[in-house]
Structure 1
Amino acid sequence: MSRILAFKLGAIALLILLLMIPLTMIDGLVNERQYLRQGVLQDIARSSSYRQQITGPILVMPYTKVWHEWKTHSKTGERYMHERQSSGRLYFLPERFVLNGKVGTELRARGIYEALLYRSDNRLSGAFKLPARLGLGDDLGLYRFDKPFLSVGISDIRGISNDLQLTFNGTQLGFEPGSGEELFGEGVHAPLPALDTQGGKTLEFAFDLKLQGTEQLSIIPVGRDSRVELTSDWPHPSFVGEYLPSSREVSAEGFKAQWQTSFFATNLEQVLHDCVSKSECNGFSARTFGVSFVDPVDQYLKTERAIKYALLFIGLTFAVFFLFEVLKRMAVHPVQYALVGMSLALFYLLLLSLSEHMGFAMAYALSALACVSLIGFYVSHVLHSWHRGAAFGALLGALYGLLFSLLSAEDYALLMGSILVFAVLGCVMVLTRKLDWYSVGRSAPTSPATL
């Protein structure tokens, strides 16, 4: 290999490494803008309401247990009856839990950033069936019960937008602030009339809950048989949590999803018992399902993914440039390589800035068109031929098209990238199969491409 060829290859490799500096700076700018947008979204959520999680309703019965036991006096040795007391609460999950919700979405803008808010109109209904003698058996007589209440946990009570009224066995009751139970966090509770401690009766309940939130709506399926149905105008739902919908329909007009669970699947009775007795409530709060209202076209994420392919992209472009040199015997100065490389790097800066003001696909098309036009015009003068410049621009445009396909097909990105690299290597090997590499750079080029 001649010294000229070795110098040229070394200069190209050095240029590629140097171009990683502006690319790294642009990648840092992407992260900075992404962090700034997240801060704005948090500010919007702080002034309205955060993501929402509904827990309950759960029937809570506070009690005082009183019992007597014999003790012996330490000095006289006489036996006497000593009264002891302890207080606590009994918790009962619904036998049946049904939630029907209709979710509408809207965009709130602050500057160039937009946050997605949702308003959910929910109808919660179901029934409790208390066990015989409240599950206490013969010890029932030792218990004195305070006023029971229905507890509903709501993660951000600022999102409640209606006057909550509970229908309990045909009686209208009002809700009060606070869940009444610190295990369930924030929320509301409804004081109930005295209940029949013999149990065995069905207690029907129903109430409407209008809730505003951001990002996500999740529900803990508290019923022995839980059925939840959500419909929305949001066409890009992401179903989250421990349980996927049993059925769902997603279209451009929105989605409809249904969940159905039972205690066999959730083991919620045992989890609630552990939460009360051992104060280990992580398992209880994690038994959720719901939907996340996220925008799948995240321009920052896609720009960041595009930058990951920048090294491959620049390498392929320089490879085409180098093929022109060795096949057409045309010398291209390293400065000209550097200018083309800077144009390729600035594509990502254009993409980032334009995608903040328009759709990602349109921003990508305009950025690619600008770079292809500029580089095609410049190369046509470098190679002293409009035809060669147009061909180079066409190849560059095809590379941008392939890159967009890689960004769009996330699941097949690795496969498509591997095929692309293999195809380029194959083209290089075919085009240079008869080239005498020892003679490259020895003779003077017939058509110098100077600045």
Structure 2
Amino acid sequence: MSRTLGFKLGAIALLMLLLLIPLLMIDGLVDERQGLRHQVLQDIARSSSYRQQITGPILVLPYVKTTHVWKTREQTGERYTEERQQQGKLYFLPERFELDGQVSTELRARGIYEARLYHSDSLIRGQFRLPARFGLGDDLGFYSFGTPFLAVGISDIRGINNDLKLRLNGQTLSFAPGTHDSRFGDGVHVPLPALDSQGGQVLDFAFDLKLQGTEQLDVVPVGRDSRVSLKSDWPHPSFVGEYLPSRREITAQGFSAEWQTSFFATNLEETLRGCEGQSLCQGLFQRSFGVSFVDPVDQYLKTDRAIKYALLFIALTFATFFLFEVLKRLAVHPVQYALVGLSLALFYLLLLSLSEHLPFALAYGISATACVGLIGFYVSFVLQSWQRGLGFAALLAALYGMLFGLLSAEDYALLMGSLLVFGVLGSVMVLTRRLDWYGVGRSA
């Protein structure tokens, strides 16, 4: 290879490395704008309500256990009994737990940023079957019981939008703030009438819960048989948690999903016993499932992914430019390569700024059209022919189309990128199969 051609290729490689500087600056700007948006979203959630998790209802029965321990006095050897009292709580999970919810979403804007809030209108119902003698057997006589209550954990009680009333065996009872038990976190509770400790008592319960939240709604399936049904106008749900829906249907108008679990799958009784002595029962909260309402079309994420392909994109454009140069015997100055490269880098800045105000696909189309038009106009004069400039612009537009396909196809991005690079390499080899590279260097 002649020295002139070697210098030319070296200059092109150096230009590509120098173009990394504006690309890294734009990538840093993407991170900065993304962080600013996240801060605004948190501010909106802080002034309304955060993501919500419903835990319960769980029936709690406080008790005092009194036992007598025989002791002996050291001086006289006389035996006597000492009374000891131990405070605690018995926990009973529902035999059947059902939640039927309708969820609607809305946008709250602050400046150019938007946060998606949801409003759930749910009917929660089920049944408790208390074991005979509360499962204590012959030890029941050692226990004295306090006022039982029903606890419902709600992670952010600011989102409660209705006056909660419990319907229990035909009675209507009012909820009070706080779960009355720290291991369930924030929420509400309702005192219950005295329970029959001798026979197995059946308690049918139901209450309506209107809840506002952001980002995500989770439910802990506390029943021996738990059934949860959610319907929403949100067409892009992301199902999260420990259990996937047993049935789901997603359309452009929204989604519907149903979950069904049992004690065999959740093992919540064992989990609840394992929380004894803990101030907060994290194991119980982790046995949850739900749906995320986060918009999957994140313009910052897609812009960041586009920048990751920038070096490959510039290399392919420079390779096309170089092929025009060597095949048509033209002399293109490195400064002209640099101007084309800066135009390619400017595309990502346009994409970032426009996508904050327009849908990503439209912002991408406008940015790509502007860059293709500018480069095509400039290259027409560099290559001394508007036909060549038009052909170069068409190839560049095809590259932008392929890049958009890579951004849209998350699961097949690697496959499509590999095929693209292989196709470009094959095209270069076919076009230059009869080219005398030593002759190119001498003529240059």
- Per the TM superposition, whether the score is higher than 0.5 is yes
Unaligned runs of 5+ in 2: none
Question: What's the counterpart of residue 392 of structure 2?
Answer: 392
Question: What's the counterpart of residue 100 of structure 2?
Answer: 100
Question: What's the counterpart of residue 56 of structure 1?
Answer: 56
Give the deviation of 1:280 after TM superposition. 7.7
Unaligned runs of 5+ in 1: 445-451
Is 1:187 the counterpart of 2:173 in the alignment?
A: no
Q: What is the alpha-carbon root mean square deviation over aligned residues?
A: 0.9
Separation of aligned partners in 1, 2:105 and 2:282 = 30
* 1:376 match: secondary structure: helix
8 A contact 1:274–1:280 mirrored in 2:
no
Question: What's the counterpart of residue 275 of structure 2?
Answer: 275
Is 1:220 the counterpart of 2:220 in the alignment?
A: yes
Question: What's the counterpart of residue 175 of structure 1?
Answer: 175
Question: What's the counterpart of residue 365 of structure 1?
Answer: 365
Aligned-residue sequence identity (percent) comes to 75
Separation of aligned partners in 2, 1:72 and 1:21 = 85
Task: Render the CA deviation track for 1:335-377: whole Å, top value 9, x for unaligned.
Answer: 0000000000000000000000010000000000000000000
Task: Render the CA deviation track for 1:298-327: whole Å, top value 9, x for unaligned.
Answer: 100000000000011000000001111111
Q: Which amino acid aligns with 1:218?
A: D
Task: Render the CA deviation track for 1:6-29: whole Å, top value 9, x for unaligned.
Answer: 000000000000000000000000
Separation of aligned partners in 1, 2:134 and 2:365 = 68
* 2:332 match: secondary structure: coil
* 1:276 match: secondary structure: coil
8 A contact 1:129–1:199 mirrored in 2:
no
Question: What's the counterpart of residue 381 of structure 1?
Answer: 381
Question: What's the counterpart of residue 449 of structure 1?
Answer: none
8 A contact 2:178–2:186 mirrored in 1:
yes
Question: What's the counterpart of residue 401 of structure 2?
Answer: 401
8 A contact 2:26–2:349 mirrored in 1:
yes
Give the deviation of 1:441 after TM superposition. 2.1
* Correspondence list, 1:110-189, <5 A: 110-189=110-189
* 2:441 match: secondary structure: coil
Give the deviation of 1:200 after TM superposition. 1.1
Q: Which amino acid aligns with 1:151?
A: A
Question: What's the counterpart of residue 75 of structure 2?
Answer: 75
Question: What's the counterpart of residue 252 of structure 2?
Answer: 252
Q: Which amino acid aligns with 2:140?
A: L
Is 1:235 the counterpart of 2:249 in the alignment?
A: no
Q: Which amino acid aligns with 2:203?
A: L
Give the deviation of 1:50 after TM superposition. 0.1
Question: What's the counterpart of residue 447 of structure 1?
Answer: none
Indicate the larger mover: 270-279 or 406-415.
270-279
Question: How many corresponding residue pairs?
Answer: 444
Is 1:66 the counterpart of 2:66 in the alignment?
A: yes
* 1:435 match: secondary structure: coil
- Structure-1-length-normalised TM-score: 0.97
Give the deviation of 1:103 after TM superposition. 0.3
Give the deviation of 1:124 after TM superposition. 0.4
Separation of aligned partners in 1, 2:414 and 2:350 = 25
Give the deviation of 1:199 after TM superposition. 4.0
Q: Which amino acid aligns with 1:354?
A: L
Structure 1 stretches (4+) deviating beyond 6 angstroms? none
- Structure-2-length-normalised TM-score: 0.99
Give the deviation of 1:278 after TM superposition. 6.1
